[in-house]
Structure 1
Amino acid sequence: MIWVYKYDQNYVWQAGEEIEVDIENGEQVPEGYTQTQPTDGLYIAKYDPDKEAWFESATQEYIDSLQPAPCPPSDIELLKQQNADLLQQLAESEKRAEEQSKTTAELVMLLTEKGVI
């Protein structure tokens, strides 16, 4: 006994319509069936009788349409992103404050050298 896999007039696999054939007792594989098992992971399996192989016939657009929409970020993920943004802003503010302090020190030194203060 072997399993055979049905395809329609366009050679598209008809999932769930597999049957067992007893070729040892002389049964023939019926028309529209093949002994070649469809490959796992195909979205729309199509049979090529010349190559005796199944291939993917679904378009990438169709495959993409079957993928679930991404979930919105959780509250924790949002808080993590906000925290990272705030830390970045804080680092930038500290850098600016350091640069400003340096500039002020240089100005005081120049004014002192010139005798203004």
Structure 2
Amino acid sequence: MIQAYEYNQQNELIIPIEVFERDEGNYIIPEQCTTIAPPNNPSFYKAAFDVKKQQWYETATQEYIDSLKPAPLPPSDIELLKKQNALLSQQLTQLLAMQKVGASD
């Protein structure tokens, strides 16, 4: 058995498949398949096979790649409290500074 990689009409990778030996060392690779493995490092988001060059290439757009990234998590309660505390500290410092200016007049 050998590993082959099936690709669609746009030459995009569909799925790895197993190809079994027909007779003593002879394998029949189906059409739209190659035994050339897509690169593992770096891996592709949307691999496609260039039949003429016999190599894989990336077809994913940057927009598509960005869409796969998870949305940022909302701030935790502790983070919210830290921000609120910082804001209150800043307001208190400004209030005390204003009182000092008023007391010196």
Structure 2 length-normalised TM: 0.74
Question: What is the number of residues matched between the two proteins?
Answer: 102
Higher strand fraction (1 or 2):
2
Q: Which residue of 2 aligns with 1:47?
A: 49
Give the 3-state SS of the residue equivalent to 1:14 in structure 2: strand
Please tell me the root mean square deviation across aligned C-alpha atoms, in Å.
Answer: 2.6
**Offset from partner CA, 1:9-40 (integer Å, 9 cap, x none):** 2101012x422354971224332111221234
Once residues 11 and 20 of structure 2 are traced to their aligned partners in structure 1, the CA distance between those partners, rounded to angstroms, is 20
1:20 equivalent to 2:22? Answer no
Query: Percent of counterpart pairs with the same letter?
Result: 43
1:76 equivalent to 2:75? Answer no
Contact 2:19–2:28 (CA under 8 A) maintained in structure 1: no
Q: Which residue of 1 aligns with 2:92?
A: 90
Once residues 30 and 90 of structure 2 are traced to their aligned partners in structure 1, the CA distance between those partners, rounded to angstroms, is 69
Q: CA 1:21 to 1:49, structure 2 compared with 1: closer, same or farther past 3 Å?
A: farther
Higher helix fraction (1 or 2):
1
After TM superposition, where is structure 1 displaced by more than 6 Å over at least 4 residues in a row?
none
Task: Mark the runs of 5 or more structure 1 residues left unpaired by the alignment.
Answer: 108-117
Structure 1 length-normalised TM: 0.68
Q: Which residue of 2 aligns with 1:115?
A: none
